Amino acid sequence: MIVTDFSRALGQLFDPRFRRVLLLGLGLTVALFVAVFAALLGLIEWLTGETTTLPFVGEVTWVGEFLSWGSVAFMLIASIFLMIPVASAITSFFLGDVARAVEEEYYPHLPPAPGSRFADDLRDTVNFLGVLVAVNVVAVILCLIFAPFAPFILYGTNGYLLGREYFTLVARRRHSDAEARTLRRVHSGQIWIAGILMAIPLTIPIVNLFIPVLGAATFTHLYHRVAGDMA
C-alpha cells in the first residue's frame, strides 16, 4: 500500500504546483547551507588569521586554506545529517500546497480542506526543527558509540519523527488535533515505515532535495487511504 502511495506521488512530481514548492524548497535549503558554510569559513578566518606561527617552524600561511578545504568536506558530511531537519522543516511550510495539489488530482470528490492556521504551522515547524536537530545530534553520538547499529539508529529515529510530523500536518487539515493523534496512533506502524522510507533517501546528497515534496505527497495519499477517502 505504501508503495502505491509513493508511486502516485512520484507520478505527480512534474505537476506545476509541485514544481513551485520544489523550487522554493530548493532555493531556501541551498541559501541556508550557503549561509552556514560562509559563517564557518568566516569563523576559520577569524581564528587563524592570514598567518599562523608554529613552534620550531615559524610562520605558515597554508593553515587557513587547509582548514577551509576541510570545512568543505565537513559540510558535505554534515549535510547527510542536517538535510533531514533542514529540508523537511522548510518544506513543511509548503505542505498544504502539495496536499491541495494531490487532492485536486486524486480526490476531487472531497470538499476543500479548512486547513490550519499559519501561526500553528509556524510554531509546529520551529518546534519540529528543534526536535529534529536535537535528536540528530544525539543520533550522531550514538552512531559513533554503536557503529554497527548506526543505520538502525539514524533511520529508525528520524523515520519515527518524520512520519509523526508529516502525517499530523496532513491529517490536521481535515481533523482536529485529537482526531489526528488518534488516527496516527491507530496506524502508527504504517506511518513509521513510511517515515523510514523517507529518511533513507534524505541522507543521499542531491536526491534528498526532492524527497520532502515527495514525502508530503506520499503522506497525503497515506492519510486519505487510512481515513477511507480513496478515489
Whether residue 98 is contained in a domain is answered as yes
Residue at 59 is within a domain: no
Is 48 within the bounds of a domain?
no
Identity of the amino acid at 45: E
Total tally of structural domains belonging to the chain: 1
Residue 119 backbone class (left: φ over 0; alpha: ψ -120 to 50; beta: rest): alpha
User: Three-state DSSP class for 203?
Assistant: coil
Q: What is the pTM of this model?
A: 0.77
Does residue 119 belong to any structural domain of this protein? yes
Q: What percent of the chain has pLDDT over 70?
A: 70
Is residue 94 in a domain?
yes
Whole-angstrom distance, CA of residue 217 vs CA of residue 120: 21
Q: Looking at 33-42, 43-52, 156-165, which range is the least confident one?
A: 43-52
Kindly give, in sequence order, each residue whose CB lies less than 8 Å from that of residue 201, ignoring residues fewer than 6 positions away.
207, 208, 211
Phi-psi region of 115 (alpha: psi -120 to 50; beta: other; left: phi over 0): left
Of the two residues 79 and 156, the one the predictor is more confident about is 156
Mean pLDDT is lowest, of 20-29, 74-83, 113-122, for 74-83
Q: pLDDT tens-digit profile of 175-188?
A: 888 888 899 999 99
| All cell numbers assigned to 107 | 480526490
